[in-house]
């Protein structure tokens, strides 16, 4: 377990999410057991930072809050939920692979259009 204590501002800078997002993740049950300083202010660990990076990755690739909440709830229930958590990630991975394929197709179309401009420049030069 990590002993680093990051303030909310330090955590936001390290993970690339806003302080409001960190609080939202806590309210939604996606980030739990955040430590508190004697003053009552939140203090995040290195483990919390790694977890926020996972949450951010999953959100950035299209996982819904409901799916994230389900994934987190299962994790809190213990090791016996590992097969279902693995299924959630496997399904999400397939979605991300499909997104990548769509982007490759779009990139090929953009490159095709750009080739016309390259030809126009060669002909006029």
pLDDT tens per residue across span 77-88: 999 999 999 999
Exposure string (b/e) for 63-100, b if CB count within 10 Å is 16 or more?
beeeebeebbebeeeeeeeeeebeebeeebeeeeeeee
User: Are the C-beta atoms of residues 44 and 6 closer than 8 Å to each other?
Assistant: yes
Q: Taking the domains of the chain in order of start, what are their residue ranges?
A: 1-60
pLDDT number for residue 4: 77
Predicted TM-score of the model (pTM): 0.80
In the beta sheet, which residues pair with residue 35? 43
Over 70: is that where the pLDDT of 11 sits? yes
Residue with tokens 């303030």, as numbered in its chain: 7
- Per-residue pLDDT for 59 more than 60? yes
pLDDT given for residue 74 in this prediction: 95
Maximal C-alpha separation, the chain: 72
For the segment 66-123, what is each residue's pLDDT rounded down to a tens digit? Answer: 999 999 999 999 999 999 999 999 999 999 999 999 999 999 999 999 999 876 666 6
Alpha helix stretches (DSSP H) within the chain: 8-15, 19-27, 46-60, 65-77, 82-124
- Give residue 118's pLDDT: 76
* Contact of 35 with 43, CB cutoff 8 Å: yes
Q: Does domain 1-60 have CATH number 1.10.1660.10?
A: yes
């Amino acid at each position: 377990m990590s002993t680093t204590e990051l303030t909310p501002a330090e955590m936001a800078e390290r993970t690339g999410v806003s302080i409001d997002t960190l609080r939202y993740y806590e309210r939604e049950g996606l980030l739990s057991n955040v430590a508190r300083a004697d003053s009552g202010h939140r203090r995040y660990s290195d483990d919390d930072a790694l977890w926020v990076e996972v949450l951010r990755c999953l959100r950035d690739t299209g996982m819904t809050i409901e799916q994230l909440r389900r994934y987190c709830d299962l994790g809190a229930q213990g090791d016996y939920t590992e097969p279902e958590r693995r299924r959630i990630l496997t399904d999400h991975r397939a979605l991300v692979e499909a997104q990548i394929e769509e982007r490759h197709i779009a990139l090929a179309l953009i490159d095709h259009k750009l080739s016309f401009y390259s030809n126009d420049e060669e002909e006029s030069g």
